[in-house]
A and B are shown apart, each in its own frame.
Chain A
Amino acid sequence: MNDQMRYYKPFISPLDPCPPIRVKSYSTPPQLFIPFQPPNLPQFTPYEALKYGTLWPALYSPYPYGHKYVRQEEGDA
C-alpha cells in the first residue's frame, strides 16, 4: 500500500516561462506488481471494502498520495 508514487526530474530550461516544476510524479498502483492474485489474501470488512473500492487491502491504491510535484520555490535547496 505504501509508496505507490514514482518521481522524476524533468529538464529545466532557463527560457521556460512558468515557474519550473522540479520534481514530477506518477502513480504505480498494485496491479502492476501482482501478475496473478494469490488466494486467501486478507480482506476488508464489507463496509470497508465498499469504502475503499476493493475487498483486498493489498489491492488498495490511495489517491492523491504524497506530493504530486515540487515547484522551484518550494523545493529549492
Chain B
Amino acid sequence: MNKALDNEFYQLLHELQSVDFVLVELNLYLDTHPMDANAIQQYNHYAQLRQKIAQLYESKYGPLQNFGQSYSSTPWCWNDAPWPWQV
C-alpha cells in the first residue's frame, strides 16, 4: 500500500518534529531545573500545541502511536506504510 507523499506531508511532519523537539529540549532541561516555572509554563503550552498538530497529522496520514495512544480507522491502519525510515 503506497500513500502519496506530497509536499504537505513533509511540511506537516516538519512542523510536528519542530514542536516535539522543543518539548524534548524543555523536558531534559526541566529534569535538572524542576523549579523553573517559566519553562514549565512553556512546556505545558507546547504540549497543548503538540496535541493539535498531531491530531491534524493523524487525520491525514494515520496513527502516530500504538497501544491505544492513537485512534484507528477501519481497516486497522497502524500497519500501513510508510514507516519512518521509508519516507
**Interface positions of A (Cβ within 8 A of B):** 36-37, 39-40, 46-47, 49-50, 54-56
Contact = CB atoms under 8 A, between A and B. Distances in A.
Contacts of A40: 38
Q: Is the interface of B mostly helix, strand, loop or mixed?
A: helix
Q: What size tier do the contact residues of chain B reach? A: 10 to 19
B39 to A, nearest CB: 7
A50 B14 CA distance: 9
Contacts of A56: 25
B29 A37 contact: yes
A49 B46 CA distance: 14
17 contacts: A37-B32, A37-B33, A39-B33, A39-B38, A39-B39, A46-B18, A46-B19, A46-B22, A47-B14, A50-B17, A50-B21, A54-B25, A55-B21, A55-B22, A55-B26, A55-B29, A56-B25
Interface string B9-20: 000001001110
Nearest to A54: B25
Contacts of B36: 39
B74 to A, nearest CB: 34
Nearest to B36: A39
Most chain B beta-carbon contacts within 10 A, residue among A40, A49, A56: A49
